[in-house]
Structure formats: structure tokens, C-alpha cells
């Protein structure tokens, strides 16, 4: 029965977590050291159909669940009882599994900053492009470059070409953060995820066939042994990144030279970018920006900023939902027309009220035009994070057209 403890908590209290399997049951105890522990029991059940190779009986599945949850807890900063927790950054050693690097705050509070600063000006803020890839960390322990995933898995063998380029200039004892994206192509999170989740040899073959990944640097934490994130404000850190030499597959994040949010919106829409990150120029990364609890911090010096897009689509099909929506509208299939051929843009299941789900659970939905808000269009032509806004009775389905054969929305 493994017992794990988490020492690096905000309130200073040690968290205790234990797990074990008893037949087909998984037992978990958790709480604060010295306090009363909570005890929960789960029965995962079997996996697959009995008699097939994919079948896993309930007892074996319970053991697999225990193994998976122990691994997950270790990634969150829990260590075995009696082990020493790593709570300092030693750039000379491989990055610890309980280290988590900070992310921008989820949304930019426009109203709050307009009230405090007036217009968001270039004097107060600077802007960088937000890429739609997978965050990674490029580090050199001594002189050996390594590339880590957000969970601090060493994945340099997946992208040896990036390490080869980094070896020519990366100073010793350095830690940089960036985004893995396809080189010279539109952002494609699915492709990046496919490469990273493959075995190393397959990942290399896939990139040789479909295009290699590139590393876009957007953050600097340690440079040549100096913890610059503690001493340099955001403007200086971005300027430092801008001085890093570019190579074929290692580049710096794009600085966006605009003065206000209106210009920023225009740039994002015009370039069809996923979004931007807004940085407080004089903001310093707080001392606890690096988390040793396995959970990222969101220090209030950088914010994500996306422009919501809206467009009209035809409902091509609909389906009932699950749970409380089991007998009523769950989601609708959105589309446009290329000539007389319908082009699918994916399913939308958010934005409907309970009353609308009850009312519109019928075939009369097919062929109606709806206005939808969405984040962006994926490379395979599907809407990201679509949300129903309203029906458009004033618009005919034939008016919802897409560029011929392109599979992209006209917004």
C-alpha cells in the first residue's frame, strides 16, 4: 500500500495520500498529516468484451488504476513516505517531476484594466503572439541540452533536430520555455500531440514524412546560471528572448507592435492567429512562479487574449445528449455549402438553454440557420469551442456558403 506525501503546499500543511487494491475495489485515503483521513472506495469494473484480447477483468483493472493514480500523484509533487521532496530549482540536475512552469492568466480583464489604466497603451503593455501548440522546456544541465514536456518528461529523442540546433548556441545552465508547433505551417495542436505521444522512433519518422516540429521560445527563467525571472521585468525578459539566435527549428515568439486592443484584435483576425499574450511591461515574475506542487502558477503579469469569432451556419443534423439531456437536444452538426455540397464544421453542444433543448428536440432543426460564436477553425475544418448564440430566421440556408473546396468559414 503506497503512502505518498506532498510537502510543498501553500498553507504549509503536509498532505497524505494512500491507495491500494482489494479484489476489484480501489481504496483511497487522503487528508492532512495528523488529521482525520477521508476514505473512498471505487469499483472500476472490467474493460472490453469478455473473450477478446482487449478484455481486462475487474481485479486486474483495479491494479492498473492504482498504478496510474500513483503515477499521477507523483507528477503532482507527492513523494513516497520518507523521501525528500525537491523544492528548489537545481539547473545542474534534470528537472524534477514535481516542477511546474507558470502559464498566463486565462483571460485578460479588459474592464478592470481600462478602469485602472485608461486605454491599454504600448507604454503599459506589450504583446506577443499566442501559438496553438504544446508547451515545452528547453534546458541545459551543464552543457547538455534537453527538451522536457510540461510534465517534465524528457522528450528530446522525439525531436533530435531541435537539440542539435540548440547545442550550437544554448549557454550552460539555462532554462527556456516555449511552444512546440509545426515548422513553417499553420498551428496544429493535434499533429504536435500525435508526434509527442508516439514512440521516439515513430515520432522521428512521422516528422520526416509530414513536417518537423519547431520550438518557439516565449520565456526565459535561467540564463547561464542566473535566475533572470527573479530580477528582470517582462519587457527585459522579452528583449532577452529577442536576442537569442534563430535557427531553422528554433525561433523567438513574435512581438506584436501595436498600441491598443483594437489594433491587437485586427492583427489577430487578419493573421488568423489563435490569439495573443498581453504582458505588463514592468511586471516581475513573483518568487513562487515556479511551482513544486506539480500544478502551474498563473502569475498576474501575463494574460491570454483571444478574439471570439461569429458566423452563421446551417444545421445539418442533430442528436440527443447524455445525462440530463438524454431525451432532449444535446448538440447540432454545423455546416455551410460549397455549391450544392454541404461542408461539415463539427458539432456544437453549448449555448442552448434548458427550454431550448426541450423545444428543439425535433427534426425541424435540420436546415435552420444559426449564429455561432467560436474560437478558431482547426486545420481539418472544424470549429474550436463553438457556442450557439441564436437562430437566424432572416437568413436562408443557401446564403451560408464557404470558399469553394476550402472547408473554412467566411468570417
pTM, 2 dp: 0.71
Strand, coil or helix: 179: strand
CATH number of the domain encompassing residue 57: 2.20.140
Domain boundary among 305, 339, 354: 305
From 377, 375, 393, select the one nearest 385 (Cα to Cα): 375
Q: Are residues 286 and 320 in the same domain?
A: no
Q: How far is Cα 368 from Cα 314, in angstroms, rounded to an integer?
A: 6
Q: Are residues 279 and 323 in the same domain?
A: no
Q: Are residues 269 and 286 in the same domain?
A: yes
Q: Are residues 155 and 266 in the same domain?
A: yes
Domain boundary among 241, 275, 305: 305
Q: How far is Cα 386 from Cα 59, in angstroms, rounded to an integer?
A: 41
DSSP secondary structure letters along 128-162: EEEPSSEEEEEEEETTEEEEEETT--B-GGG-HHH
CATH number of the domain encompassing residue 179: 3.30.470.30
Write out the three cell numbers for 342: 454541404
Domain boundary among 80, 102, 129: 80
Q: How far is Cα 360 from Cα 382, in angstroms, rounded to an integer?
A: 23
Q: How far is Cα 247 from Cα 233, in angstroms, rounded to an integer?
A: 26
Q: How far is Cα 338 from Cα 238, in angstroms, rounded to an integer?
A: 44
Q: Are residues 143 and 225 in the same domain?
A: yes
State the total domains in the chain: 3
Q: Are residues 236 and 322 in the same domain?
A: no
Residue 365 domain flag: yes
Q: How far is Cα 347 from Cα 372, in angstroms, rounded to an integer?
A: 11
- E strands, 48-206, are 79-80, 125-130, 134-141, 144-149, 174-182
Q: Are residues 277 and 341 in the same domain?
A: no
DSSP state of 240: H
CATH number of the domain encompassing residue 380: 2.40.50.140
In which domain, by residue range, is 59 found?
A: 3-80
Write out the three cell numbers for 103: 502559464
Q: Note down pLDDT in tens along the chain; length 411 residues.
A: 678 888 767 677 888 999 999 999 999 999 998 888 999 998 888 776 677 776 888 899 889 988 888 888 877 778 787 666 677 888 888 888 778 899 999 888 777 766 666 666 556 888 999 998 999 999 999 888 999 998 888 999 999 999 999 999 999 999 999 999 999 768 888 899 999 999 999 999 999 999 999 999 999 999 999 999 999 999 999 999 999 999 999 999 999 988 888 888 899 888 888 899 999 999 998 887 888 877 788 888 999 988 878 899 999 998 888 767 777 888 999 999 988 889 999 999 999 988 888 887 776 788 999 999 888 888 788 898 899 999 998 888 988 998 744 444 554
Q: Are residues 33 and 13 in the same domain?
A: yes
Amino acid at each position: 500500500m503506497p503512502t505518498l506525501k506532498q510537502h510543498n503546499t501553500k498553507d504549509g500543511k503536509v498532505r497524505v495520500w494512500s491507495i491500494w487494491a482489494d479484489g476489484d475495489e480501489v481504496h483511497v485515503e487522503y487528508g492532512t498529516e495528523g488529521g482525520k483521513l477521508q476514505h473512498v472506495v471505487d469499483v472500476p469494473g472490467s474493460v472490453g468484451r469478455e473473450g477478446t484480447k482487449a478484455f481486462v477483468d475487474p481485479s486486474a483493472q483495479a491494479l492498473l488504476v492504482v498504478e496510474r493514480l500513483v503515477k499521477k500523484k507523483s507528477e503532482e509533487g507527492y513523494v513516497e513516505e520518507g523521501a525528500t521532496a525537491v523544492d528548489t530549482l537545481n539547473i545542474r540536475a534534470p528537472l524534477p517531476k514535481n516542477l511546474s512552469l507558470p502559464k498566463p492568466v486565462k483571460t485578460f480583464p479588459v474592464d478592470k484594466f481600462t478602469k485602472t489604466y485608461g486605454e491599454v497603451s504600448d507604454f503599459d503593455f506589450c504583446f506577443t503572439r499566442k501559438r496553438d501548440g504544446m508547451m515545452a522546456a528547453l534546458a541545459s544541465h551543464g552543457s547538455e541540452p534537453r527538451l522536457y514536456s510540461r510534465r517534465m518528461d524528457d522528450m528530446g529523442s522525439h525531436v533530435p533536430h531541435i537539440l542539435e540546433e540548440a547545442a550550437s548556441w544554448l549557454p550552460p545552465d539555462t532554462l527556456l520555455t516555449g511552444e512546440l508547433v509545426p515548422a513553417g505551417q499553420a498551428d496544429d495542436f493535434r499533429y504536435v500531440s500525435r508526434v509527442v505521444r508516439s514512440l521516439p522512433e515513430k515520432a522521428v519518422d512521422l516528422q520526416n514524412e509530414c513536417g518537423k516540429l519547431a520550438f518557439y521560445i516565449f520565456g526565459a527563467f535561467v540564463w547561464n546560471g542566473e535566475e533572470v525571472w527573479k530580477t528582470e521585468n517582462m519587457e527585459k525578459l522579452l528583449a532577452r528572448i529577442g536576442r537569442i539566435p534563430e535557427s531553422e527549428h528554433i525561433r523567438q515568439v513574435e512581438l506584436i507592435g501595436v498600441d491598443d486592443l483594437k489594433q491587437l484584435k485586427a492583427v489577430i483576425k487578419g493573421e488568423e492567429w489563435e490569439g495573443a499574450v498581453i504582458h505588463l511591461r514592468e511586471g516581475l515574475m513573483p518568487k513562487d512562479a515556479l511551482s513544486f506542487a506539480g500544478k502551474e502558477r498563473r502569475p498576474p503579469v501575463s494574460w491570454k487574449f483571444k478574439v471570439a469569432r461569429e458566423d452563421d451556419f446551417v444545421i445539418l443534423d442533430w442528436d440527443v445528449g447524455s445525462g440530463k439531456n438524454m431525451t432532449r437536444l444535446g448538440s447540432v452538426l454545423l455546416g455551410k455549402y460549397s455549391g450544392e455540397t454541404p461542408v461539415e464544421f463539427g458539432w456544437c453542444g453549448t449555448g442552448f438553454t434548458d427550454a431550448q433543448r426541450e423545444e428543439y428536440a425535433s427534426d425541424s432543426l435540420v436546415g435552420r440557420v444559426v449564429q455561432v460564436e467560436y474560437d478558431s477553425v482547426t486545420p481539418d475544418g472544424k470549429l474550436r469551442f463553438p457556442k450557439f448564440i441564436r437562430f437566424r430566421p432572416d437568413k436562408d440556408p443557401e446564403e451560408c456558403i464557404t470558399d469553394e473546396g476550402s472547408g473554412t468559414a467566411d468570417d
